[in-house]
Amino acid sequence: MSSKGIESGNPQQIKMLLWSTFAGSKGCINRVKIVLQLKKMPLNTNQLSKELRLDYKVIERHLEILEQNELVTKVGNRYGSTFFLSSLLEHNLNLFDEVADKSKNCKEQ
């Protein structure tokens, strides 16, 4: 599911997007970590990789997915581009927290 066509005021559609992006994925734990880190402060891919102690390519792939689903926003076009939470995600952090809390895939083993 993509956020294209999702009404920003429709919590049910947004919850479905969050479930498919986070809970319905093996990479859920890493995507949740990325979002939680970006909640604290906007960062670039390299900074996220260092903060989360994850491979650069892993971070890059998860950021692509989050960006495709309009859950993060990228400022800049090259290495060093900074990522921010999108306004869609910022306005629905309560739904994000609910999905992350309920999903077994989103918890560290």
Helix (H, G, I), strand (E, B) or coil at 75: strand
pTM higher than the cut 0.75: yes
Q: Which domains does the chain have, with CATH numbers?
A: 11-104 (1.10.10.10)
CB-side neighbour CA atoms (13 Å) of 59 = 21
Q: What is the pLDDT of residues 35-58, one digit of tens each?
A: 999 999 999 999 999 999 999 999
| Average pLDDT of the residues in 86-92 | 95
Lowest mean pLDDT among 21-25, 40-44, 88-92: 21-25
Continuous H helices in the chain: 11-18, 28-40, 45-52, 56-68, 87-90, 93-102
Helix (H, G, I), strand (E, B) or coil at 57: helix
Q: Name, in order, each residue with C-beta under 8 angstroms of 8's C-beta and a sequence gap of 6 or more.
A: 14, 88, 91
| pLDDT for the residue numbered 9 | 64
Question: Is the pLDDT reported for residue 84 higher than 70?
Answer: yes
| pLDDT for the residue numbered 3 | 54
Tell me how far apart the alpha carbons of residues 84 and 90 are, in angstroms, rounded to a whole number.
10
Q: Which of 67, 69, 31, 22 is nearest to 52 (CA)?
A: 31
Residue pair 21/71 in contact (Cβ under 8 Å)? The answer is yes
